[in-house]
Amino acid sequence: MDWLTTVDHKKIGILYLIAGGLFFLIGGIEAILIRIQLMQPKLDFVSAQTFNELITMHGTTMIFLAVMPIIFALMNAIIPLQIGARDVAFPFLNSLGFWTFFFGGLLLNLSWIVGGAPDAGWTSYMPLASNTYSNTHGVDFYSLGLQIAGIGTLLGGINFLVTIINMRAPGMTFMRMPMFTWAVFITSALILFAFPAITVGLVLLTFDRLFGANFFEIANGGNAVLWEHIFWIFGHPEVYILILPAFGIISEVVSTFSRKRLFGYSSMVFATILIGFLGFMVWAHHMFTAGLGPVANALFSIATMLIAVPTGIKIFNWLFTLWGGQLTFNTSSLFAIGFIPTFVMGGVTGVMLASAPADFQYHDSYFVVAHFHYVIVGGLVFGLFSGLFYWWPKMFGRVLNEGLGKITFWTFFIGFHMTFFVQHFLGLMGMPRRVFTYLPNQGFDTMNLISSIGAFLMGVGTIVFLINIAVTAAKPKNAPNDPWVDGRTLEWTIPSPAPEYNFKQTPLVRGLDAYWKEKMAGNKEVPAAEPVGSIHMPSPSIIPFMMSVGLFIAGFGFMFAKDEFANGFVGMLFNNYIVAILGLVITFGGMFLRSVFDDHGWHIEPEELEDKGVKA
């Protein structure tokens, strides 16, 4: 119950981690099934239809329901601590954001059980995604599930923008913000601008499918290429929403474990902003073959290539952070170090793809599959692993097991390169992507086999990670404040795990890497900006959970409104939109309750602080 009502950012972070982890497993199982099917030519492990559902759900799940929430988990767990805040700006919204994400994801995944999974690819191009060509409820689950989950992301983005702008500790100017905070700040801004686009797109798609609108139905004057634009105006920034936090994590980890400040901090900040900005200008590079004409293709080619410049700045700054440092090798730093070459390889193939005339060959081939997995898995997932090992003690009070961690790193790292490196060549040799099978004797067989074996290895790495979590959870909570000894930022000044109110006294920041700076000055602690006083805390609330359940029910209600049911009563409920309306009533009821009842929260008094501080 405590977990259903919590509005504490640290607990919400853990919820995000659990839910994201769960979806990550589902997405991973889907990936393994795909790779089993493609292990050899002309296998019959799954049917063509199931295969299309698997790739669609794998992509959608991984992007929206797995890596995104794990990013949110780290954002929630760490950002307020890094900026010396007691919570996020809107704790209630934070909880609402989590629950809408969770129920959106649940709705989407229930499609496996009721009504057929979506099968039009994670991009859901029209008209393949229309009722005419995809006549199960699959794409409805996609559009409604993502719509509900998207609310959560948007709320989270806004929340973190406000939190970072308003709630930094005294003295923490923008140019003293830790790099992870910067990255999350830009990411949140991207979410703010990109998610409305997909929201609109999904609404239009839903209208087409459920109410017979014709936004994309060609026969009735709709436009199929329009969907591509809407999707990618969101979809391209989305990949930067994913990768920027990983950049932030790497910056923290690399500088902590080499005991040096980040090389070229201000150029890092500038590069991050620039990447965020350019991320919006390049969506049409996903559409070079759609026939936009040479002028558009040339301009989008050039704009895309430009992103390589700030990205290159980041890479070299990381290398020169290591230069002259004292590097400790542990699982977290191994993942960060593994990130650098892997991401560089993903980045350079990105530049290759940016050249439109050559992209005519790469597009929609396995080359692209290799490229984006190098960026998303080799970049983002490596970054997330690195961040999880790094901040795990701060989140749970326990340091993850190093031995198991290293096994995870090596199996995952080797498995990853085995899986995806050969796919570059598969693509160049003419293998299209999203194929459920291929004919023998085309030169594809060996590489596909290698690729599948690599995928199994990555699976092993993930399982070892889960074992690690279990083993660690069984040990006592004894991590010190600063388990890495060389922590540089504010989160390491408070106990692990952080107490409910984070900071007994708001810290005073006197420079970049506030904690490190004090340590170097011989101080044990960061000075406080205020006297010990009573701390205001927000009250827990079940309303966010209820509101999300309402949306979840409404989603089902709308989806099945036109179906026929064996049971007359159930049919009556659905066909008259009673279920849909009931769901909306619950949601709006929640909003209403939230607005009428004033809740002033509660306080932790200084006397209580004393014993709590000791205990935690």
Partner 1 sequence: MMNRWHAVKRLLPILAGLALLLSACGRADLSTLQPQGPIAEKQYDLMKLSIGMMIVVVVIVFLILAYVLIRFRRRPGQTEIPKQVEGSHKLEIIWTVIPIILLVILVVPTVKYVFEFAQDYSKDKNAIQVKVTSHQYWWEFDYPDYGIKTGQELVIPTTKKISLQLNTVDVLHSFWVPSLFGKIDTNPEGNTNKMYFEAPKAGVYRGKCAELCGQSHALMDFKVKAVDEAKFDAWVQEMKAPAVLPEDPQLAAAFEKKCLSCHAVGDKGGTLGPNLTGIGNKQAVAGVLLNDETPVEENLKNWIADPEKVKPGSKMPKVTLSTEELDGISKYLANYKLQYDNGK
d(CA 46, CA 68): 28
Cα–Cα separations (whole angstroms), residue 392 to 13, 395, 416 = 11, 5, 23
Residues numbered 62-91 forming contacts with partner 1, rule: CB under 8 A: none
Task: Give me the least distance between CB of 171 and partner 1, in Å please.
Answer: 19
Residue 325: exposure state from Cβ atoms within 10 A (0-12, 13-18, ≥19): middle
Residue from the set 8, 140, 359, 518 that interacts with partner 1 by CB under 8 A: 359
CA distance 73 to 391: 11
Tell me the window of 82-90, 154-162, 255-263, 546-554 that interacts with partner 1 (CB under 8 A).
255-263
Task: Among 82, 147, 317, 408, indicate the residue that binds partner 1 (CB under 8 A).
Answer: 317
x-marked contacts with partner 1 along 479-518 as a string, rule CB under 8 A: ----------------------------------------
Segment contacting partner 1 by CB under 8 A, of 82-90, 106-114, 425-433, 539-547: 425-433
Cβ-based nearer residue to partner 1, 36 or 225: 225
Q: What are phi and psi of 604, to 5 degrees?
A: -100, 125
**Secondary structure of residue 40 in the 3-state scheme:** coil
Which stretch in 124-132, 206-214, 461-469, 560-568 sits in contact with partner 1 by CB under 8 A? 124-132
Binding-site member from 435, 549, 561, 582 for partner 1 (CB under 8 A): 435
Q: Which segment (126-134, 194-202, 402-410, 412-420) binds partner 1 by CB under 8 A?
A: 126-134
Pick from 294, 476, 531, 568 the residue near partner 1 by CB under 8 A.
Answer: 294
Shortest separation between residue 202's beta carbon and partner 1, angstroms: 19
Comparing CB distances to partner 1, the nearer of 80 and 201 is 201
Mapped onto helix, strand or coil, the DSSP state of residue 537 is strand
Report the C-alpha gap between 526 and 506 in whole angstroms.
Answer: 10
Contacts of 576 (CB under 8 A, 6+ apart): none
- Quote the least distance from Cβ 46 to partner 1, whole Å: 11
Residue with tokens 């790094």: 390
CA distance 106 to 91: 23
Minimum CB–partner distance for residue 261 and partner 1 (Å): 5
Element (H, E) at 288: none
Q: Which is nearest to 458 in space by CA: 413, 403, 407? A: 413
Alpha helices by DSSP H, listed for 379-494, are 382-396, 402-428, 445-473
Out of 211, 360, 565, 588, point to the residue binding partner 1 (CB under 8 A). 360
| Binds partner 1 by CB under 8 A, chosen from 337, 455, 457, 609 | 337
Interface residue with partner 1 among 3, 211, 316, 602 (CB under 8 A) is 316
* Of 110, 306, 537, 549, the one binding partner 1 by CB under 8 A: 306
Nearer to partner 1, 291 or 476 (CB): 291
d(C-alpha 548, C-alpha 551), whole Å: 5
DSSP secondary structure letters along 412-431: HHHHHHHHHHHHHHHHHTTP
Q: Out of 18, 33, 348, 546, point to the residue binding partner 1 (CB under 8 A).
A: 348
